[in-house]
Amino acid sequence: MRVGVLTGGGDCPGLNAVIRAVVRKGVKEHGFEFIGFRDGWKGPLEGITMPLGIEECRGILPRGGTILGSSRTNPFKVEDGVQRIQDNLAEAGVDALVAIGGEDTLGVATKLADLGVKVVGVPKTIDNDLSGTDFTFGFDTAVNIATEAIDRLHTTAESHHRVLVVEVMGRHAGWIALHAGLAGGASIVLIPEIPFDIDEVCGLVQRRFESKYAPILVVSEGAVPKDGTGMTLASGELDAFGHVRLGGIGDRVAKEIEDRTGAEARAVVLGHVQRGGTPTAFDRWLATRFGLQAIGAVADGEFGVMVALRGKDIVRVPLIEGTGELKVVSPEEYEEARVFFG
């Protein structure tokens, strides 16, 4: 059997660990042959490939990013895109496809599976917002990077008696902000799921100063105020999946705090630092287990599924369970953390 592998969407720590696990088990236990499709769905769409065997996978376990490259290509937005993919898979002699990606990449995989393409999905996103799985790889690394940044910012905030606003990734879900904020001892965490009251935020900032400590705020890029004034800034055009690029909420919150309280405030945008570099041990472990289960599904002839972490077990679930609805922070989970705010 010849198996194609692709990685789509934003890069993420742990992608190479999945590729490595898929190929090593596939070759050693099942005698499969592999071909890598370059740059996400652009690869099968345009027939862009690379050799993918055990030799190509040596030394990639600790590497961030993806040796296959990635893109946000959406074949359903390209004329004859689906037919071109089917033709290129047939021409390359590909019997099955392992698609590693987030909501958008696996959304394409779901549609292709419905059209008869033999595909297995592996969930990837630093945002941890894919339903169907308890955790996605990449999330733990992003949280650790954000937490370390918050730890470092505490010292400069205290030295200058300054408010520091840390903007982290999280378009629709505040998992990174909530986990990193709690782990880093932030004074306030603002997330997309719970619109915030800027007056309440300023009150918490002043209360923090009264306790002789400088406030650290952690803000998801998709956080919005209750009054609907749209403090989050959108820049750039829509991508192939209809997303705008978010950014600027950290600066806007810092300016509001400074104007309303008189305290000096600065914003720090972590941006793509959160998704780059060496994956944590947990992400390597989870990504490897996902890869082993994914190629197991291919060997069993079980397609149209996504591998997922449920408790301690890696299971196979229908692809639609991973892409049908985003997993977001509940009001109860957020309320539980509020005891540490202020």
Q: Please write the tens of the pLDDT for every residue from 287-336.
A: 999 999 999 999 999 999 999 999 999 999 999 988 878 899 999 999 99
Confidence tier at 155 by pLDDT (50, 70, 90)? confident
pLDDT at res. 228: 67
Q: Is the pLDDT of residue 240 over 60?
A: no
Confidence tier at 158 by pLDDT (50, 70, 90)? confident
Q: Is the pLDDT of residue 276 over 60?
A: yes
Q: Is the Cβ–Cβ distance between 289 and 312 less than 8 Å? A: no
203-212 long-range CB contacts below 8 Å, 24 or more apart?
204/341, 204/342, 205/163, 205/257, 205/261, 205/263, 206/261, 206/263, 207/342, 208/342, 209/161, 209/263
DSSP letters along 73-106, please?
A: --GGGSTTHHHHHHHHHHHTT--EEEEEESHHHH
Helix, strand or coil for residue 223? coil
Active-site option among 127, 129, 140, 283: 127
**Percent of the chain scoring above 90 in pLDDT:** 77
Mean pLDDT score, 96-116: 94
In whole numbers, what is the pLDDT of the chain averaged over residues? Answer: 91
Q: Is the pLDDT of residue 182 over 60?
A: yes
pTM of the model: 0.91
Beta strands 163-168; 216-220: pairing state: parallel
Q: Is the pLDDT of residue 272 over 80?
A: yes
Q: Is the pLDDT of residue 238 over 60?
A: no
Confidence tier at 247 by pLDDT (50, 70, 90)? low
Q: Based on the residue annotation, tell me whether 127 is a catalytic residue of this protein.
A: yes
What's the DSSP call for residue 188? Answer: E
CB atoms under 10 Å from CB of 269, counted, come to: 18
